[in-house]
């Protein structure tokens, strides 16, 4: 097979809201798409400023959908893109496995009458086209799936599946405006407030070190220990689903099957038992350190270093030791 065996792949690109402009997960997908297709296009709602950023990662064209203030982008993007895809179908559409990505993919699936392959952790070429890899049984087993009917193939791809690699000397993507056709009742929701992380916060997706806390911290106030250690290590603070559901921290901190997938150099799990759903989101970290009072906690089965002890007693001593250096 040739180096690029597909004609065109289209990637849904999410704006990042910082000076990178393109979210890390989207940069990963643009970079990954270049492995399979002769041409890569992007679709976003971030405006003209994204053209340079999308081009840097290999997009030839950026289809930009205008989203009025106070409206959700997903319904508009899906409607506008569906019309474009029907007129000029790509071989495949790659969508980041994020909250917004899942919304766009679901709407596209209905509008295009095409199924979606979700929770993709790898893509590979075959004589029949793209093969999607899916982690099942908590990531212990990989299964492969592919489309058998002709038409655009929809893939929801997990973060960290590909490595974001910018191209040297890349040109800006050609900007192409897309308008969404009116469809009564499809966008009744309105944005009333937004959560914006601190501008100097380290993004969970990009952090080389992640410090996550769980129920073993005892109460919400003790999450300050996680934030203090993370600040000392120039790390991102994370969390288990249990304390996110309990309202201790925002959902943006959640690591796991229903949160973010991270692959840092070091992952420190504090007071986290290591349920299967959490391990799916962090088990591929290069080094795992676990602090838990239960010596039989599942997290120790994948930890490189384990500390058996009360997290609220171990953490202050660990923080003091780091400060002394």
Q: How do residues 45-103 score in pLDDT, each as one tens digit?
A: 977 888 999 999 999 999 999 888 888 889 999 999 999 999 999 999 999 998 899 99
Give the HSE-up count for residue 126: Cα atoms under 13 Å, Cβ half-sphere.
13
Which pLDDT score, from 0 to 100, does residue 2 have? 46
DSSP, res 271: S
Q: Where would I find the beta strands (DSSP E) of the chain?
A: 6-12, 37-44, 61-65, 92-96, 116-126, 129-136, 141-145, 153-157, 174-178, 209-213, 236-239, 266-270, 287-292, 305-308
Give pLDDT, residue 195.
Answer: 66
Output phi, psi for 227, to 5 deg. -65, -35
Say whether 276 sits in a helix, a strand or coil: helix
Low-confidence spans in the chain with pLDDT less than 70:
1-4, 17-20, 138-139, 182-187, 195-200
Contacts of 115 (CB under 8 A, 6+ apart): 109, 147, 154
Domains detected in the chain: 6-178 (3.40.50.620), 209-324 (3.40.50.1220)
């Amino acid at each position: 097979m040739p180096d690029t065996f597909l004609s065109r792949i289209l990637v849904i690109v999410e704006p990042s809201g910082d000076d990178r402009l393109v979210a890390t997960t989207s940069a990963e997908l643009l970079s990954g798409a270049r492995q399979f297709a002769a041409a890569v296009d992007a679709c976003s709602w971030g405006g003209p400023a994204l053209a340079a950023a999308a081009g840097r990662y290999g997009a030839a064209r950026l289809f930009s959908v205008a989203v009025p203030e106070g409206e959700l982008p997903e319904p508009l993007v899906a409607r506008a893109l569906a019309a474009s895809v029907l007129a000029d179908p790509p071989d495949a559409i790659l969508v980041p496995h994020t909250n917004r990505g899942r919304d766009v993919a679901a709407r596209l699936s209905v509008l295009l009458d095409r199924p979606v392959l979700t929770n993709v952790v790898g893509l590979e070429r075959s004589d029949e086209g793209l093969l999607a890899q899916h982690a099942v049984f908590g990531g212990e087993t990989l299964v492969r799936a592919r489309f058998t009917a002709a038409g655009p193939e929809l893939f929801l791809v997990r973060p960290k599946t590909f490595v974001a690699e910018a191209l040297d000397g890349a040109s800006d993507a050609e900007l192409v405006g897309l308008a969404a056709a009116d469809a009564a009742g499809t966008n009744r929701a309105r944005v009333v407030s937004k959560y914006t992380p601190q501008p100097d916060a380290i993004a969970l997706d990009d952090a080389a070190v992640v410090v996550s806390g769980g129920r073993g911290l005892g109460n919400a106030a003790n999450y300050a220990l996680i934030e203090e250690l993370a600040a000392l290590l120039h790390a991102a603070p994370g969390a288990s689903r249990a304390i996110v559901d309990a309202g201790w921290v925002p959902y943006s901190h959640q690591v796991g099957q229903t949160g973010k997938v991270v692959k840092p150099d070091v992952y420190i799990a504090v007071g986290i038992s290591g349920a299967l759903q959490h391990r799916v989101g962090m088990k591929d970290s290069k080094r795992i350190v676990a602090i838990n009072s239960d010596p039989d906690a599942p997290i120790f089965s994948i930890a490189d270093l384990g500390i058996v002890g009360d997290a609220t007693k171990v953490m202050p001593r660990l923080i003091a030791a780091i400060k002394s250096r």
